[in-house]
Amino acid sequence: MANNKLDNLRVRISGNHPVKILFVCLGNICRSPAAEGVLCAIVNEHNASANWEIDSAGTYGGHAGQLPDQRMRVHARRRGYDLTHRARRFRPADFDDFDIIIAMDGSNERDLRDMARTTSDLDKIVPMIDFVRMATRYDHVPDPYYEGAEGFELVLDLLEDGCRNIFEVLDPSVQ
């Protein structure tokens, strides 16, 4: 993420304790619950769970109530993440309840922008790929739903890299 954008984000959330972060994808059964699980694991490793409130949601509600997709759970489990989130649809009140709303791809970002009620809501929306530092040809976190195993591994690679960065730059102990 560009330094000025990151500085603005830091200023906006400075003093917020815990930092409330919501990951959003389409179905809330692949990418966003995986991001939630990965960031939770990083936060727990650092004994920083009191500093964070972490959740995920989907712009589409068709999978509401379901556990993450079996394929995502298997790939995540191999890396040590137990994904137990139950899918839910994003609701406009999430703009009130969270400080940062992270969109996995451009379509998720547009859908969130359409639901924003104020400029303050809009300011909370950040693309996940902005936190990813590893070399990648992607400008978003690609939907793995219709992909094979490599799609799920790629998503986890991007999310692990991005979530490490989120923790490093936004954990209240380092602000």
Of 19 and 25, CB closest to ligand 4NP: 25
Per annotation, catalytic residue among 30, 31, 69, 94: 31
Residues binding ligand 4NP: what is the number (CB under 6 A)?
11
One residue of 1, 21, 22, 25 binding ligand 4NP per CB under 6 A? 25
Cβ distance to ligand 4NP smaller for residue 9 or 158 = 158
Catalytic pick among 25, 30, 40, 163: 25
The active-site residue, picked from 30, 94, 143, 163, is 143
Spatial neighbors of 41 by CB under 8 A, at least 6 apart, are 80, 81
Structure-token match 């954008």, residue found? 5
Residues 6+ apart with CB under 8 A from 88: 28, 57, 58, 61, 64, 65
State the nearest-atom distance from the C-beta of 109 to ligand 4NP, in Å.
13
**Is 31 part of the annotated catalytic residue set?**
yes
For position 170 contacting ligand 4NP by CB under 6 A, the verdict is no
Q: Edge to edge, what strands does the sheet with 19-25 contain?
A: 52-58, 19-25, 100-103, 125-127
Residue 42 CA to residue 30 CA, distance in Å, equals 19
Looking at 2-10, 23-31, 44-52, 75-83, which segment touches ligand 4NP (CB under 6 A)? 23-31
Beta bridge partners of 53: 20
**Of 13, 145, 26, residue with least CA distance to 90:** 26
Buried b (16+ CB within 10 A) or exposed e, 21-32: bbbbbbbbbbbb
Active-site annotation holds for 40: no
In the list 22, 30, 57, 76, the residue contacting ligand 4NP (rule: CB under 6 A) is 30
Task: Using CB under 6 A, list all residues that contact ligand 4NP.
Answer: 25-31, 58, 62, 143, 145
Residues carrying an active site annotation = 25, 31, 143
